[in-house]
Amino acid sequence: MAVIRRRRTFGRLFRGIIFLFVSAAVLSFFVYMPFFTLENIKLVGAKYLTQDDILKVGEIYLGEPLFRLETDQVQSRLAKDLRVEEVTVRRELPHTLEVTLKERRPIATVMCNYGYLDLDHDGTVLDSYKSLKNMQIPMINGVSVRDVYIGDKVDDELIKKILDFLQRLDEETLNRISEVAFVEEDYVVMYTATERAVQIRIGKLERLDEKARLTEDFLRDLKTNPHPVEYVDFNYTAPFIKLAQ
C-alpha cells in the first residue's frame, strides 16, 4: 500500500510539474511572441495630454511586447502626474494600450506674490508664471494668494467659492469670461471676453446651479442679440438686463 501511495504522490507531483511547465510555456509564448507588440496608444477623454506624454510619463515604449507591460505600474506612474485626476489602463489586443483619462484642466487664474497661478476646480495649482499670458480662462480679481506653488492647493475660502461656481459652467461659457471680480467680500461680478465687455452680476455665491445655467443661456443668446447690453443681474428671481445707451 505504501508503494501505491508513493506512486500516486509521484504521479500528482509529475502532473503538477508538467502543468507548471506548460503554463510557463504558454505565458512565455504570449509575452515574447512578436505579434503582440505595442504599436498604438488609444487615449480616451484626453484633450491636453498626447501619446508622447503618455509614453514618457508611463515609461513605456512602442514596439515592446504588450504582455510585458505591467498595466498597474503604468497606471500608477500616470496617476502621479499633476495633469491627471483619474486614469485607467488596459491592454487592447493585439497592438494597443488603452488609457482612459480624466484630466485636470485650468478654470481660473489668480494673482500671487511672485506672478500668476492657474487653478483647477479644487484649487490645485497647475501652472505658475511671472508675466500674464494670453489666456482663455477667467482672471480672479480682488483677492490674491502667497507662497503657493505648482502642486499645492489654494485654501482661500473666497477663491474656493469662485472655483466651485466656475466648474459648473460648460467649457464654451468659461472661455467667454475674461474676469471674475469681488466687488465686496460676498458679491461677485464677471465680465465677458467680447469686444464690448458685458458685466454679469452674479451677486452672492448662492443658487450656484441656477446662476450657472442663467450665465450659459445669457452668453448663448448674446451672440444673436441685436441690442448692446450693459449688464445683466442674476440676483433677482427673473434676470434683469440693462441695455446700453
- 72 and 115 both lie in a single domain: no
**What is the span of the domain harbouring residue 79?**
40-103
DSSP 8-class letter at 138:
P
Q: How many Å apart are CA 200 and CA 132, to the nearest integer? A: 23
Quick one: pLDDT at residue 75? Answer: 95
What are phi and psi for residue 232, nearest 5 degrees? -130, 140
- 121 and 158 both lie in a single domain: yes
> CATH number, domain at 67?
3.10.20.310
* Overall number of domains in the chain: 2
Sign of CA dihedral 121, 123, 129, 134: positive
What are phi and psi for residue 238, nearest 5 degrees? -110, 135
Quick one: pLDDT at residue 3? Answer: 46
In the block, cell 487592447 appears at 92
Evaluate whether residue 8 is within a structural domain: no
Residue where a domain terminates, one of 53, 70, 103: 103
Evaluate whether residue 14 is within a structural domain: no
Quick one: pLDDT at residue 144? Answer: 87
| For helices 208-222 and 157-166, angle between their N-to-C axes, nearest 10 degrees | 50
- 92 and 139 both lie in a single domain: no
Kindly provide the residue ranges of all beta strands, DSSP E only, lying in 18-138, ordered along the sequence. 40-44, 84-92, 96-103, 108-112, 115-119, 125-129
- 73 and 185 both lie in a single domain: no
Residue where a domain terminates, one of 103, 132, 158: 103
- 116 and 171 both lie in a single domain: yes
Evaluate whether residue 46 is within a structural domain: yes
Strand partners, 177: 192
Q: What global pTM score does this model have?
A: 0.76
> CATH number, domain at 127?
3.40.50.10960
Which pLDDT tens digits describe the chain residue by residue (245 residues)?
554 455 555 556 556 566 565 554 455 555 555 567 889 999 999 988 899 999 999 999 998 888 888 999 999 999 999 999 999 999 998 889 999 999 999 999 999 999 999 999 999 999 999 988 777 899 999 988 999 999 999 999 999 999 999 999 999 999 999 999 998 777 899 999 988 899 999 999 999 999 999 999 999 998 888 888 999 999 888 888 888 87
